[in-house]
Structure 1
Amino acid sequence: MRNYILGLALLGAFFLGLSPASGAEAIDLFDIQVDLQPDSSFVVTETIVYEFGDNYKHGIYRDIPLRHHRDVDTGYGQIKGAYNVRLHVLGVGNERGEGRLFKVIHQGDGVRIRIGSPETTVTGTQIYKIRYVVQRAINYFAEWDEFYWNATGHQWNVPIRKAQVKVVLPGKDPAPLVKAANFVGYLGSTDSVLATEQPGFSYELTAENLSPSQGVTLVLALQKGQLQEPGKRQKLMWFLADNIILLISIGLPLFILLAMGLLYWKRGRDPDSHLPVMVQYEAPKDLNPAEVGTLLDEVAHTSDIVSTVLDLAARGYIKIKEIETKTLLFFTNTDYEFIKVKEADNQLNSFEKKFLRHLLGAKDSKKLSELKNKFYVHLSDLQDELYAALVKKKMFPRKPSSVRTSYAVVTSILIVLLGVLLVVVGIHLNQESHVPFVFVSCALSVGIAILFSRVMPRKSLKGSQAVRHCRGFEEFLSRVEKDRIKRMAEKDPQIFGRLLPYAVVLGCADEWAEKFEGLLTEPPDWYVSHHPYSPGSFRTGLLVRDLGQGMNSMANTFKSQPQSSGGSGSSGFSSGGGFSGGGFGGGGGGSW
């Protein structure tokens, strides 16, 4: 009987198309039949009688949402995530069963079935028959299994004069519905129309005169056992497929953390780093203070380079003179003058000669203030000299700066390439909503890789032995008894100034100075303070404090640069109730 009525409607629509058409577009008839299958899939057949009027269009399109965000049953528990309905278009034809040209376009959170050809147009009344199969659009509850489907969609921009929906229940001997409801109208409406149920066979309804953006939704509760619920493995595979981009984005930083940790364990750890430290009474013979500071943390800091000023002064190549000048009112400014004492000779290595040349130039003296915004251009060159010297002395197999750069650049490039791949795959898999997580994940992963790259330089066995020597020497500088220092100073009167640069880079200058309180009565001859010490007033602690302030000033000046200019899933029967537009399905369509 229903097929007979549908045939009459189609015939009437055909003859209506022969009469003069108005310019207004509309859907004369939207007939939907849903055949539920025992495996929980269902086949949807939509017959759309579309009135183009006197407009010439290529055809129509049908939009159907597929991607939802909800609590997902993974088979092993509920978790918030993306939930993708599976839809496969079986074909598109006309009232005579002839095929129509169509294209399936994945966009946003759904799919668009575009019917027609860009090279041809249609007008008047056209009949479109769309068939597609849907999977994963059933809700499973303890009491029943639920079919909750937005049959027409609410995004049509034309009126639907008549919509009729028929749901055929699954199996040869289907059981009656537990309960059923329908919702007609705008999105969120709870209005309904009279429906007809053939117990154990079908559920049918008809709605008329739907305005644009109105639609039909129905929810049917089937008895348990009529539909086969997917197994745990299938649910888990669906969940992984729907959220693969998000899951990879979450897992990528953890993977990079583990991978870089493993790389560090295999290739970044220093050999014999676990061996105990023995007290050493002299600095390493073949390492100057700047090299010691660089060796310890594998970075040539500006403070390491500045320690060379004290070292060259203690060795008699320069003298440091503190100058105090008055500025505004009672304020004063402290400057430092470096005075050449003797020319560089073969006792200096390449780094020390280059540093002395950059410090004084061709002059016999130069003030620290003259180096402001100028010396920074030499820092990179001096750092490279330090790294090269340590490699030459076989403390490192490779320059630490090169190792850090290699790991940081290579891993960052690989992460960025993986990120681009994830974005492309995410768009292809219709998971655009997860793409922002890719950017966050890649940024975090690059940060982890860069942090690990800083500790990847590996010392040689000789370098590790030198580090233990330095730590043992630090123990001596910090803990040596005053009586021992007194005896050592009697044999070597220059021991305080000679070892002070090492104490500075090892971070124990204050402790070293404390050992000499009362032993030294005047400052080293290589340092001239702006306030001369009276007999008996000299304190090594005050000297170290003044030198510390001076070295801070030097470090800030050495790296100062000119400033650049510029301008500034719920149930349809839940406590909240169902509504028009709820459930799966939906969307809408229009002409093009």
Structure 2
Amino acid sequence: MNMKKLAVIFIIMMLLSVPVIFAKEGDYTVPSVVKDITVKEDGSTVIVEKIVYDIEGRVNGTYREIPLTGNQSVRNISVETPGYYNKLEIERNNSKVKLKVWLYNDAAKTEKTKDAKVEVIYKYTVRKGLKIYNDIAELQYMTWGNNWNTKVDHMESNIHLPAKKDEVEYWNNPETYVKSSEWTSPDTLTTKLDNIPAKTRFEQRLLMPKEYFDNATNAQRINMDAKDKIEQNQREYKERNDRAGLASTIFTSIVALLCLLPVGVYLKYGREVKIDYDAKYEYDIPSDESPLQVNAIMVGEVGDLDNDAISATILDLIDRKYYKIMLNDATSTIIRRTDKDISNLKGYEKSLVAYLDKYAEDGDISIGAFGRQSNRYDFRSFMFKWFKEAKKEEVQKPFVEKYFNNKGYKLFKILAVVFLLMIPISIACIFLKIIPTDIGEIFVYSILLFFFGAILLFVLPNTIAGRWTKEGKETHEKWKSFERYIKDYSLIEERPPASVQIWGRYLVYAAALGCADEVTRNMKKYYDSLSVSDDYFNDSSAVSFAYFNGLAHVESTIDSFSRTDSDSSSSGIGSAGSGGFGGGGGGTF
């Protein structure tokens, strides 16, 4: 199995499957939170929050935002930062109270905190948070708000009530992250949670006898019966949450399956067959494929042709004496058609001859003039038609299938379309409420995964998902061995081609392989070491053409033409999960 290909697939899919987070100065995490919520008989709620900030880099301090609704207020605010000095700044408006805690390492308060784990203890009292109805008292408290940009590893909530546990009915909204929720004393409910994601709220809702709050001047009094409605609301919330959990499970399962399918396709159709061939070098043309066929199976997508196919065809026509060289130096190259009959040429070769003839002057074709007289649109139009004709004649479907199994590549393209279709389907399901909006980050990451996954599957070459047949693998490896030979000057010195004519054929195939420049340099270096005369090259037009820069002129002209232009506040019964008070967010600044 080609482990390199498998590793590429695995790494790319892993990168697409997880969000990438870049750390910056002042980043923080919250390893732990301990909260004590004490409900007083006067209706006020005393809250103590011990929040540990693991700070990376230098910060001014931390902040805590406490939302307010209706006539709620926050009083008796204080802050402690064990091991650090602080300065508290309080900002108030009708919708929230913001506590800014400036942190310092020294008593003079000149040295800011850096790379530290700081416990900040917030203490405050909320008035009008408790609701008292005609039949029941309710504490609906947002223990953790959805305005935190980091997850919480561990959280403990201790709710202390004037009522006894047998008189209390309670719910955790949602139960998703709750590890335990139990009465640790007759009047204390302790709830422990793990791994609360960023931007995620957690609410606790408790019902208790209203008789404990006969003189509750700091509670909201609401003239209605609420117990049955709250219990019904909680049943509906649970049903919605269960449906959301099921939909989320189904959605994430589909996403996971779609992510695994490309790997499965690769494992079934992309793993290479084993062959006995292991030669590192081939010292002669290894098989009888034409230059265009070699280009189709060795360069880029299997079965496609690139610009090197045109260069190789021109050089091949010169090598086979259909053109003779009139002038060839560092600045210009001129060729002329010979009298050799072209009726036996293949269609794509005749098309290339006809195209070059358009730019002949008195029979002479100047590669430089051709580049100046032609235009990019005309050449691209010709290239499109020429590639189509050349593939039809030289790279037919049976030829490709003889060497390469393309089924995995086709399945990749189908999966790419499926990935793209999943984007509008998923968005439509959100709007139609088939998929709950509660899945939040999972949905966002899934959409990004579908988008980038589709692009990846579209652009991956067919050599990743497809695989060589046994004959194709052996042929491909032999041509790679031949390419290594002609690109290695030490081997050329050791085992040079037997004649200048053989050098000519090697150059034609080097052009098809896309390594003509390197092979031409090796040839020049070799012949320069022999101090041969210019007349020596007359026996091979291809060698003479390449040696005196003609091939470089052709490749430069084709490259310039094929380049793109861009290159050049009311009270009432709260809904479950909404939070009667509390929540908010915080962070560093």
TM-score (norm 1): 0.49
TM-score (norm 2): 0.49
Flag the structure with higher helix content.
2
